[in-house]
A and B are shown apart, each in its own frame.
Chain A
């Protein structure tokens, strides 16, 4: 990841707003890793994570002229990423319920992308997308519960309870794995 201060970020946004590709590239390189990781940890599908993070950056490009550069870019980007990742996970769950298993004869079974993962990330995949999202925002992206509540449009109490419940479930799963 490219190191960058808030001052750097403001300069990149100012440069990108006036048409500088190198400034846009610096902004992209600074924010891509965490945007992609956040999407991946919620959806656990590298193709979908790429789509989600890419859509967020394209949305940023489209809104660049209107963006207030006094505000930090990361929270705005992460809000799009995490909300889209939750939507994607919910829609995939619905699609599974509609009976796609019966079609397995037509499609080759795609191996889940789990073999390479750290135990923590693998355990995270077993939580609901809503629980994954708050844990990723808190512990990967370092947002406070208040900031998470604002980004996801949830009451702060709901964020706190999801964090607590998600972490408890995670601890249980990791304990089981270690036994």
Chain B
């Protein structure tokens, strides 16, 4: 029986991750007189790091090369010829949902919106009129489900067994094969919802603007994360098992049991989009201030930021390639998509996005080599 007292698989790594979460929860609960508020110093240090990066010779080179890379049509390709990393893209426009293959070939699924990949990219869940449908990338519909109320934002759990979606002002769950549709809650703000990897635990925003984290099968043991402002986007970081909440002027990071364990307050800058890297360690986010947008990168628990790219106007969205080596930035004001290698080594710009994909086009997901 002494054989039982041996290291279990993943014990050390899980311990390291858990210690980070426990330490953060512990520091969060300490009475305020004991805590010194380091945020002003941290912000000043972060600003110094960004400025130093921007104006040091290597920083100049990076910013200069990025500016050059997107200056005018001579550098941006007129159409998307191929993706720089394995996988397929989902893009949306007023015409419908586009599936873009790795070689740049694309197919329009007319009339579909709010599309999301299934875990391995075999299917897409999308809304068509008053129906939620699961279809293959070639357009063949596997199942559909009609519901009253505006359907929106289907999200597939990581094992493919559950799909969460909004119907009017309620949040519903259906099995991955289209059976077992049921109401999860009406205490919800339609919009963001995110499955925790490898679980049937869903995070969503309740009417009060806080985050509820619940196992949709057990329906008990809800955790509530109290936010500063209602999040517009939720994203799990699989590595640390933490939840990033994107708020209008900040992002906050919570443990799966609810305590806040990190984040960044961006002051008056508006945080408009963000994406956690596939390894769960970094977060890329877009902030806009005074008509200028900046793509920033930082550790998922917060800390110093690094400006990756800055440009006039609006960056509508950002996403990671499945291998975590590229960022795709939707520079909607410039009608361009930028593929940015991370760390920054190369930038590939593609223009004429509206002409190629239709009005109001934006990226919706990059999935599955």
- A: which residues have CB within 8 A of B? 16, 19, 21, 24-25, 28-29, 32-34, 36-37, 40-41, 46-47, 49-51, 53-55, 57-58, 61-62, 64, 91, 94-95, 98-100, 102-103, 105-108, 110, 113, 116, 118, 120-121, 124, 136, 139-140
Contacts and interface: CB of A to CB of B under 8 A. Distances in A.
Contacts of B123: 106
Contacts of A108: 119-120, 160
Given A103-B176, A120-B4, A57 B161 contact: no
Nearest to B200: A95
B159 A110 contact: yes
Contacts of A37: 4-8, 11
Given A61-B29, A107-B159, A25 B19 contact: yes
A100 B180 CA distance: 11
Contact of A106 (B11, B29, B161): B161
Nearest to B122: A106
Contact of B241 (A34, A54, A91): A54
Interface in B1-53: 1, 3-11, 14-15, 17-19, 21-23, 25-27, 29-31, 34
B118 interface: yes
23 contacts: A19-B31, A21-B26, A25-B19, A36-B11, A41-B8, A50-B14, A50-B241, A54-B17, A55-B257, A57-B22, A58-B22, A58-B259, A61-B26, A103-B161, A103-B176, A106-B161, A106-B176, A107-B120, A108-B119, A108-B120, A110-B159, A120-B4, A121-B4
Contacts of B177: 102-103, 105-106
Contacts of B199: 47, 51
Q: Bin chain B's interface residue count.
A: 35 or more
B200 A53 contact: no
Contact of A53 (B18, B34, B159, B179): B18
A46 B160 contact: no
B255 interface: yes
Pick the 9 closest A-B CB pairs, nearest first. A107-B160, A106-B160, A40-B8, A50-B14, A46-B10, A139-B1, A106-B176, A140-B4, A54-B18
Interface of B: 1, 3-11, 14-15, 17-19, 21-23, 25-27, 29-31, 34, 118-120, 122-123, 159-161, 175-177, 179-180, 198-200, 215, 217-218, 241, 255-257, 259
A117 to B, nearest CB: 8
A83 B347 CA distance: 52
A19 B34 contact: yes
In this complex, the member of B14, B17, B19, B218 whose beta carbon has the largest number of chain A beta carbons within 10 angstroms is: B14
A25 B7 contact: no
A46 B241 CA distance: 13
B8 A46 contact: yes
Contacts of A34: 5
A146 B215 CA distance: 33
Contact of A54 (B10, B22, B179): B22
Specify the main secondary structure of chain B where it touches its partner.
Answer: loop
B26 A103 contact: no
A21 B256 contact: no
A103 B160 contact: yes
A111 B49 CA distance: 44
A36 B18 CA distance: 10
Contact of A107 (B1, B3, B4, B119): B119
A147 B261 CA distance: 35
A122 B198 CA distance: 22
Contact of B8 (A47, A49, A54): A49
A61 B261 CA distance: 13
Contacts of B259: 58
A46 B12 CA distance: 11
A32 B15 CA distance: 7
A24 B26 contact: yes
A40 B14 CA distance: 11
A118 B3 contact: yes
A41 B21 contact: no
A108 B159 CA distance: 7
Contacts of B159: 107, 110
Contacts of A62: 25, 29
A41 B17 CA distance: 20
Contacts of B179: 99, 102
Contacts of B218: 91
A96 B123 CA distance: 22
B255 to A, nearest CB: 7
Contact of B25 (A46, A53, A58, A99): A58
A54 B26 CA distance: 13
Contacts of A54: 14, 17-18, 21-22, 241, 255-257
